[in-house]
Amino acid sequence: MQGFLDNLIRHFGHDPATWPWTQFVYLGGMALFAFAVINFAAITAGIFSWAERRVAARMQSRVGPNRVGPGGFLQWVADAVKLLTKEDLVPAEADKILFRAAPYFMMVGFACVFVALPFSHRLVIADMNIGIFFIIAVTALIVVGIIMSGWSSNSKWSLFGAIRSAAQIISYEIPGGIALMIPVMLAGTLSTQGIIRAQGGLPWQWFVFDNPAAFVAFVIYFISALAEGNRTPFDLPEAESELVSGYNTEYSGMRFSYFFLVEWGNMWVMSALATTMFLGGWQIPGVSAATLDAATGGTAVALELLSLAIFVGKTLFWVFVVMWLRWTLPRIRVDQMMNMCWKYLVPMSFAAVAFVAVWMLVVHAVPALGLVMRAIMFVLGVAFTVFFVYRTAQNIRDTGDKFDFTSNW
Amino acid sequence: MTESVFFWIFAVLTVLLAAQVVLRRNPVHAAVSLVGAFFFLSGIYLLLAAQLIAILQVMVYAGAVMVLFVFVIMLLNLKEEEMGHERLTAWKIIGGASIVVTTGLIAYLALGNAYPTGLLRDMARTQPGFGSVKGVGQALYIASVLPFEVTSLLLTIAVVGAVVVAKGKI
Amino acid sequence: MPFHFANVLVFAAIAILFVLGSLVGGHFLRPHNPTAEKEMIYECGEKPIGQAWYNFNPRFYLIALVFVIFEVEIAFMYPVASVYRSFIEKGQGMLAFLEIFVFVAILAVGLAYVWAMGDLEWVKGLKQDVLKAAREAREQPRKAA
C-alpha cells in the first residue's frame, strides 16, 4: 500500500521522500483503507448472517428469511436498521464502564487482523514481515473483550459464558498456533504474502498437499479456528439451551450487534487464513507470482482481479464448510472439548512439527521424494473427494430428494 | 520528529494506565488498564525496532497473562470489605518514597551516558533484520543454542511447578 | 516497516471511531426510556438473587496457567521455525533439526507429566467431589445413630 501511495504522490509531481505532506497523505490513505476494510468486514458479516440462515433452512428443510428483497437477501440490512433503532440498555447492576468498553476491545482486535490479511496479489494493507505472528497476537484482544463483557454484565449467564469462552479460546490457541507454524517452516517466512508466494496455483503445489503432517496441521488449524470463533460444534459459550446467550446476554441494540459482527466476521478471517496458509491463497493456476509482478497495464488489472476472485472463491468455500458443519454436527460437552484440545490436538500438532522438520531435511537431500509425496497426497485427496461426492449422490438418490426446496425462494 | 511524537503519546498513555493499575480499587478495572498499558508499551518497543518483543508483549502479556490475572481475580474474588480501608500507613509512605527514588535514579541514568540516545536505532539501521522475528531466530540458532534449550527446560519446570503448586492450594 | 505498524494504529483508531460513530448516530434514532424492570439483570424472568461476581471453579485457573506456559513456548518456536528453511539451505539442517527436536521433546515431557498426573481430566475433580459428598452422606446417619 505504501508503494501505491508513493505512486499517487509522484503522479501529482512530488517526490515522496522530500515532500513535507507525504506523511499526511499516508495517514489519509491509511484511514481511508481502514474505513473501507472495516465496512467490508461489517457488510460481509451481515451477508454471512443471511447466508447462514438460508443454508440452515436448506439443510434442515425449513424456511429461511425470504421476504426482504430477492430471496430475502436484504434481510441483513433490515436487521441492521432494527438493531440501530433499538433501545440500548445498560443494566443498573452492571459495571457500567467496562460494560460500555467491551465492544471496543472486540472491534479493535477484530479490525487489526485485517491489516496483515491479504485479499489478492497486490491488495494487502501491510505485508508485514511478521504477518502471521501479528495475526495470532491481536486475536488475543478478542478474548479480553469477551471476558470484559461477561464480567461487567453482572449476570450469571454472561459470566459462565465468558469464562467458558475464554478457557476454550485460550486452549485452542495452542494447537492452532503450532499448526500454523508448519506453513511458516515450509515457506521460511512469516509474511502472509510470502507464504502464498512459496506455494503455487495448482493444488499439488499447495502446502496442504505437501506432506501428511501438513494436511494434519490444516485439519488441526481448522478445528482450532472453529473453536476460537465459538462456532458449532464448539459453541458452548453461547449454548442457548443452557446459558441463554452467553457473554452477550445483557447486551441489546447496537452494542449487541458488534459481538454479532465479530462472530460472523470471524468466519471470513478463519477461512481467509486457511486459504492463505494452506490452500495457495490468490495464486492463479499456471501463472507464477513473478509473471504477476511483471504484468503491466490491462493484463495486470485482469490478473489482479482473477487473483482476487480466486482468493475470495476459496475463502467463501470454507465459509460455506463452516456453516455446513454448524448445521450438521451437535454441540459437544465441555470435557470433550478440553480432552480433544489437550489430549489429541496438542500432541498431534507437536508430532506434526517434528515430522515436517524431518521431512524438510529428507526433501532437501532427495528433492524427488517431495514431488512423489505431493503427487500421492493430491491423488489421495482427489480420490477422497470423488468418493465423498459419489456417496452423497448415492444417498440422495436412495432416499429420494422429495422436497422442492426452491419453492420458498 | 514523528518518532518522538509517538514516543511521548505512548509513554504518557503507558504511565497513565500503569498508574490506574495501582490506583484502581476494582481488580478487574486494574487488569484491563494493564492490558492498555501493555499495548502502548509494545508501541514503544516498535519505535525501538524490536518487533518480536512488541508482538510478544501483546501476545503473551496482553493476551495470556491478562486472562490468567482475570481468572485469579475471579478465583479469589475479594469483596469490597475484604480489601481493607484506604488509609495512610508508614509502609505506604516508605513505598511511595522508594518509588520516587527508583524512578529518579532510572531517569538520571537514562539521561546520562549509560544509554546513548539512538543506539538501538543505529543498530537497527546498520544490521538488517535487527530485532525482527527472523533476526532473533538466527541469533537463537547460532549464538544462544544452550539458553534456547534451557528455556525449554525452564518452561517444562514451570508447567510442572504450576500444576503442583496450584493443586496443593486449591 | 514503521508504515506497516502505523497502519495497525490507524486501524485500531478507525475501529474505535466506527463503534463510537454508530453508537452516537444511533443515539438520535433509538428510544431511551429505561425502567427498573428493563434495567434488571436477566435471570430467566425471576428477580436476580445476589451478584454474579462469586468464586468459580479453579479448573479454569489451571487451564490458564498451562496455557500461558505453552503460549510462551509458541512465542519461542516461531522465530526458530521461520529460519529453519534458510538453515537447511545452508546445509546446517541437521543441527537446526536437533535444536528444534530437543526443544519440542523437553516440552512434550512437560505435557506428558501434566497428562499423567490427570490434570487434563476435566471431569475428575467433579467425580471426586461427588464421591466425597456421597460418602459423607452415607456416613452421616451412621454417626448420628
Can you tell me the distance from the alpha carbon of A344 to that of A172, in angstroms, rounded to the nearest whole number?
11
Mean pLDDT (chain C, rounded): 77
Residue C28 sits at the chain A interface (C-beta within 8 Å): no
> In terms of domains, do A312 and A382 share one?
no
pLDDT at A383: 92
Contact C60 B152 (CB under 8 A): no
Percent of chain C with pLDDT over 90: 0
C43 or A120: which leads in pLDDT: A120
pLDDT at B168: 61
The model's confidence at residue B79, banded by pLDDT at 50, 70 and 90, is low
Q: Give domain status of residue B148, yes or no.
A: yes
Residue B44 lies inside a defined structural domain of this protein: no
- How many beta carbons lie within 10 A of that of residue B6, not counting itself? 18
Nearest to B51 among A130, A140, A147 (CB): A130
Residue-wise pLDDT tens digits, A84-128: 888 888 887 777 888 888 888 888 888 888 888 888 888 888 888
Give the number of domains in chain A: 2
Q: Which three cell numbers stand for residue C83?
A: 529460519
A279 and A390 in a single domain? The answer is: no
In this structure, the answer to whether residues A196 and A214 fall within a common structural domain is: yes
Asked if residue A278 and residue A184 are part of one domain, the reply reads yes
Amino acid type, A230 = N
Parent domain of B158: 132-170
Confidence of residue A409 (pLDDT cuts 50, 70, 90): very low
Residues A299 and A370 in one domain: no
- In a domain, residue B141? The reply is yes
Question: In terms of domains, do A267 and A355 share one?
Answer: yes
pLDDT in tens, A325-362: 888 888 887 778 888 888 888 889 988 988 888 888 88
Question: Which residue of C55, C59, C65, C90 is the best one to mutate when testing the B interface, meaning the one whose CB has the most B CBs within 10 A?
Answer: C65
- The reply to whether A263 falls in a domain is yes
Q: Do the domain assignments include residue A45?
A: no
Q: Find which of B7, B9, B71 to mutate to test the C interface (most C CBs within 10 Å of its CB).
A: B71
Contact residues, chain B, for C76 at CB < 8 Å:
140, 148, 151-152, 155
- The neighbours of chain B, by the rule of 3 or more Cβ pairs under 8 Å, are A, C
Separation of alpha carbons A200 and A95, rounded Å: 52
Q: What is the mean pLDDT of residues B36-59?
A: 84
Enter the pTM of the model.
0.86
In whole numbers, what is the pLDDT of chain A averaged over residues? 83
The three three-digit cell numbers of residue A296, written as one number: 503491466
Confidence of residue A203 (pLDDT cuts 50, 70, 90): confident
Burial status of residue A60 (CB atoms within 10 A of its CB: 0-12, 13-18, 19 or more)? exposed
Q: What pLDDT is stored for residue A220 in this prediction? A: 92
Q: Is residue B99 part of a domain?
A: no
Grid cell listed for A278:
494452506
At A88 the three-state DSSP class reads coil
* B107-111, C53-57, C102-106: the lowest-pLDDT one: C53-57
Q: Pick left, alpha or beta for residue A127 (phi over 0 → left; psi -120 to 50 → alpha; otherwise beta).
A: beta
Q: Which of B45, B131, A280, A172 is nearest to C79 (CA)?
A: B131
Domain limits at A104? 86-360
Rounded CA separation C130/C145 (Å)? 24
pLDDT band at C103 (very low <50, low <70, confident <90, very high): confident
- Considering only A390-394, A404-408, C15-19, C57-61, which range has the smallest mean pLDDT? A404-408
CA of B46 vs chain A CAs: smallest distance (Å): 12
Instruction: Give the span between the Cα atoms of A273 and A132, in whole angstroms.
Output: 9
pLDDT above 80 for B76: no
> Does A393 lie in the same domain as A339?
no
Cα separation, B99 vs A127, whole angstroms: 42
DSSP, residue by residue, A316-376: HHHHHHHHHHHTTSPPPPHHHHHHIIIIIIHHHHHHHHHHHHHHHHHHHH-HHHHHHHHHH
Give the pLDDT band (50/70/90) at residue B83: low
What's the rounded Cα separation, in Å, for the pair A138 and C9? 12
Largest CA distance in chain C: 81
Contact by Cβ (8 Å): A140, A177 = no
ipTM (interface predicted TM): 0.80
Residue B146 domain-assigned (yes or no):
yes
Residues A390 and A299 in one domain: no
Judged against a pLDDT cut of 70, whether residue B105 lies above it is answered with yes
Residue A219: pLDDT band by 50, 70, 90 thresholds? Answer: very high
Structural domain contains residue B97: no
- Whether the Cβ atoms of residue A264 and residue A256 lie closer than 8 Å to each other: no
Asked whether the predicted pLDDT for residue A324 surpasses 80, the reply is yes
Domain identity same for A273 and A378: no
Phi, psi of A92 (to 5 degrees): -65, -35
In chain A, positions 250-309, which contact chain C (CB-CB < 8 Å)? 250, 253-255, 258
Residue A66's pLDDT band (cuts 50, 70, 90):
confident
Phi first, then psi: give them for residue C112, nearest 5 degrees.
-60, -40
Touching check for C61 and chain A: CB below 8 Å?
no
- Which of A174, A188, A354 is opposite residue C104, by nearest beta carbon? A354
Q: Which domains does chain C have, with CATH numbers?
A: 2-144 (1.20.58.1610)
B5 in a structural domain: no
pLDDT of C96 above 90 = no
Which three cell numbers, joined as nine digits, stand for A293?
A: 509482478
Residues of chain C whose C-beta is under 8 A from some C-beta in B?
Answer: 1-2, 5, 9, 53-56, 58, 60-62, 64-73, 75-76, 78-83, 87, 95-96, 99, 102-103, 106-107, 109-111, 113-114, 117, 119
> Residues A388, A295: one domain?
no
Model pLDDT for residues A271-301, shown as the tens digit of each residue: 999 999 888 888 888 877 777 777 777 888 8
Q: Using an 8 Å CB-CB cutoff, list chain B residues near C114.
A: 159-160, 163
Q: How many domains does chain B contain in total?
A: 1
Q: Which member of B55, B66, B67 has the closest CB to residue A134?
A: B55
Residues 6+ apart with CB under 8 A from B14: B37, B40, B41, B44
The answer to whether residue A71 is domain-embedded is no
Domain membership of residue A56 (yes or no) is no
Is residue C74 within 8 angstroms of chain A, CB to CB?
A: yes
My answer on whether A249 and A395 are in the same domain is no
Domain co-membership, A388 together with A355? no
* Span C35-45, average pLDDT: 75
Nearest to B55 among A133, A151, A166 (CB): A133
